[in-house]
């Protein structure tokens, strides 16, 4: 095939292969945002289901439904933007990949009119461009998928390194006591726990009793870090639970 035909096709194909890198940051950002939103959404569902008795006892079902609806809408919007960016990048890549055939035909006809090549060479050039376009388009789609999760992978790597590195988290002392100091917990304007202080000694057994809705379960949900919006301190040994991984 004539080099005046093949070189423009190859150069344009190289240009098309750079498209994923032009969209890389946008794809990664939108995918990461959706990942964060879906993680929050999943966490809230678990939290709401676990706190169902408390929600019913304090008659805040409408409030919880409103909060659920808000995060659900935010998650759906984030998903739409993520899929939109991905589809836009793939569509542009597909269009430009297909355009290599137009270049082959256009440049070929110019060369035919100049009597530099025969019409059959143009047909060969178009087939050559088509053979490049299809695998190139598949490769670009794969690149888009890989680049879109770059920030998510970095987040996972950071979390893994943090969990494997004891210096990034406080160490629980041996045989620790569990101490609540002036702990208050409110769900909106409803008081669940009010200024609770107590030290649970290591190795001892305790019985927590109280009326339904008095905050027994919430006390241990705080200990398990199910809720972080409370006043006061909760320590395991000498370490505040907020500093523990």
C-alpha 129/C-alpha 136 separation (Å) is 10
Q: pLDDT tens, 190-200?
A: 888 999 999 99
Mean pLDDT of 56-82: 90
In Å, how far from its chain's centre is CA 124? Answer: 46
Reported as a pLDDT band with limits 50, 70 and 90, residue 204 is very high
Q: pLDDT tens, 122-155?
A: 888 888 887 877 787 788 778 778 877 877 787 7
Residue 234 and residue 185 in contact, taking contact as beta carbons nearer than 8 Å: no
Residue 107 and residue 2 in contact, taking contact as beta carbons nearer than 8 Å: no
Q: pLDDT tens, 99-114?
A: 888 888 888 888 888 8
Least confident of 70-84, 97-111, 157-171, 217-231: 157-171
Phi/psi of residue 16, nearest 5 degrees: -60, -35
Partner residues linked to 179 by β-bridges: 199, 235
| pTM for the full predicted model | 0.57
Q: What residue has token string 């808000």?
A: 70
C-alpha 162/C-alpha 156 separation (Å) is 10
C-alpha 91/C-alpha 55 separation (Å) is 47
């Amino acid at each position: 095939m004539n080099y005046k035909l093949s070189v423009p096709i190859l150069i344009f194909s190289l240009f098309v292969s750079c498209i994923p890198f032009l969209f890389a940051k946008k794809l990664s950002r939108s995918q990461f945002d959706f990942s964060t939103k879906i993680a929050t959404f999943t966490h809230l569902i678990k939290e709401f289901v676990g706190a169902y008795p408390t929600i019913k006892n304090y008659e805040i079902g409408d409030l919880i439904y409103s909060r659920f609806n808000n995060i659900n809408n935010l998650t759906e919007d984030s998903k739409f933007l993520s899929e939109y960016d991905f589809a836009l990048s793939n569509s542009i890549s597909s269009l430009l990949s297909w355009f290599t055939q137009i270049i082959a035909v256009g440049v070929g006809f110019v060369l035919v009119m100049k009597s530099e090549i025969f019409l059959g060479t143009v047909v060969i050039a178009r087939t050559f461009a088509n053979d490049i376009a299809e695998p190139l388009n598949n490769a670009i789609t794969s690149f888009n998928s890989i680049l879109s999760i770059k920030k998510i992978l970095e987040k996972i790597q950071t979390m893994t390194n943090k969990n494997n590195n004891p210096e990034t988290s406080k160490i629980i002392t041996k045989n620790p006591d569990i101490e609540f100091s002036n702990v208050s917990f409110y769900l909106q304007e409803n008081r669940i726990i009010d200024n609770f202080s107590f030290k649970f000694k290591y190795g001892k057994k305790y019985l927590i009793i109280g009326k339904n809705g008095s905050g027994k379960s919430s006390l241990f949900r705080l200990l398990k870090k199910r809720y972080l919006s409370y006043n006061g301190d909760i320590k395991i040994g000498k370490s505040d639970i907020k500093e523990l991984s």
